Chain A
Amino acid sequence: MSEYLDPRGLSRRELLKRGTALGATFIVGAGFLAHANDAWAVESKALSPETMAAIIQVARDTYPHDKLADKYYAIAVKGHDDKAAEDAAHKTLMEDGVATLNSMAVATGASSYLAMGWEIDRVALLKQIEDSPFFQAIRGGLVVSLYNQKEVWPIFGYEGESFSKGGYLERGFDDITWL
C-alpha cells in the first residue's frame, strides 16, 4: 500500500494521531483516510476523506467479498479521487452522490450511510439509486478496478499467467480427483 500512503511522508502512526475516528473502521484527517486496524492509508486529493470512506463502503456493498480486505476496495475506488482532482464535474458527482446516500440514511433513522449497521439496509438504499450516474460510475469502474487487481487473484484461486511456468501440462491441468 506504500504507493497510496500519505505523500507528505508522514508515518501511519503520525497520520493516526492527526485524525479522528470515522465509525469503527476508518480514521480520517486532512487529505487522508486510514484504516483503523489494517496497516494502510490512502490519500484523498480532491474528495473529502469522509466521502472516500463512504465510497469504499459502497464498493464493498456493491461487490461484497468477505474474503477481501478493505484495502482492495480502497485501491479499486482510488481512481475516483484522481479523476475528481482533474474533473470538477466528477468531484461533484461523487460528493453529491455520497451526500444523497447520507440523507437517505438519515431518513431511515441512521446518522449516515457508513453508520448503518447491516449490509441489507445499505443495499436497499443503493437499489434506489442503482440507475444513477453516481452508482453506475462506481459499479462500472469496479468491474475492472477490483477484479483486475493481480493481488486479489490468488484470493479467488486464479493463477494468472502461465507461460513463464510452461503452462499447466505438467502442473495440474487434469488433476481433478473428486469427480
Chain B
Amino acid sequence: MLAFLVQRISQAILVMFVISVIAFAIQDGLGDPLQQMVGMSVSEEEREAIRDEMGLNDPLVVQYLRFAGNAVQGDLGISYFYGKPTLDVILEHLPATLELAIGASLIILFFSVPIGVYAAIRPQALLSKFFMGVSTVGISIPVFLTAIVLIQLFSIGVTVDLFPADTGWGQNLNSALSTEGGLPSYGRGDELTHLFGTWHSGFFSQGGLLHLILPAISLASIMLPLFIRLIRAEMMEVLQSDYVRYARAKGLQPGRINFLHALKNTMLPVITVGGVQIGTMVAYTILTETVFQWPGVGLMFLEAITRSDIPLIVAYLMVVGLIFVITNTIVDLIYGLVNPTVKLTGKKA
C-alpha cells in the first residue's frame, strides 16, 4: 500500500511539474511584462536596466525556478485587468462555480440512481427503453444548446399558436405547449448570503436558488446520460453475481436485494468514474457559465482570454491543474484502498 501511495503521489508531483512548465512557457512566450509597465518614452538602456532588475535576462531555468517558487507560496502574479493578485481573483470567482457544480451533482445523483437502477432491473420495460433512448439523444446534444433551449422555454417563454384558437381543443393544445418563462437566465442575482471569506452563497435565498435552476439543469443534462448508462451497466453485472442470486433464493425482499445489497456494490465503480469525470465537468462549466453569464471561474477564464490577461490565464491553468491532479490522485487512492486487486504497479489490466 505504501508503495502504491508513494507511486501515485510522485506521479501527481510529476504531472504538476509538467503543468507548471507549460504555464511558465505560456507566460514567457506571450507576455512581456515590461511592455505593460513602462511607456513609449523609456529608453532602451533604461529598459535593459529594468529587465536586469526584474531578472528577465536571467537564464530560463533560473526564471522558471523563481516562477515555481512563487507559485508554491501562492503568488501567481498580478492580473492585468483586475490589478489584484490572480489567486485572489480566482478565489473570488470559485464559490460561484462550486455552487453550480454542487447543484448539478445533486440533480445527477437524484435522477441517475433511480433511473439507472430501474433500467437495470427491468431492461425490457417500455419506460427503461424510453430512458435509454433519451440518454442516447442526450449525449448528442451539446451543453450550450440545452442551455439555450432551456432559456427559450423557461426564461423567455414560448407562445404556440399552431392550432386554431377558436376551438376548445386547439386552445387547450396551444396553452399546453406554451411555456410561461420568467426564470432568471443571467448571473446569480443579488440576494447572496455572505458565508465566510470570499464565499457569497446563493443557496440560502429564493432569488439565489431561482438563478441556480437553469444553469444547474443544463450542466447536469450533459453528465446525466453517462451516469444513467454507467449505473445501469454496473447494476446489471452485479445482479448476475452469485450473492444476489443467493439472496433471491433465500427469499429476501426484492427491494432489499436491489437497493441494499446490489446497489452498494454498484456505486463503487460509479464513484470512481464520477471522480474522473470532474475534469469533464470543469470544461462544461466554462460553457454553461458563458451561456448564463454565471460569474464563476469559467467565465472569468474566458474573459481573461479575450482581454489577453496572461497572468490570470496562467493562474487559472495552475489552479485547475492542481484541482485535477488532487482529485485524480484521491480517486486512485480510494480505488486502491477499497479494491486491493488493483495492481501496485498502477498499470490498468
Indicate, yes or no, whether A interacts with B: no
Binding site for B on A (CB under 8 A): none
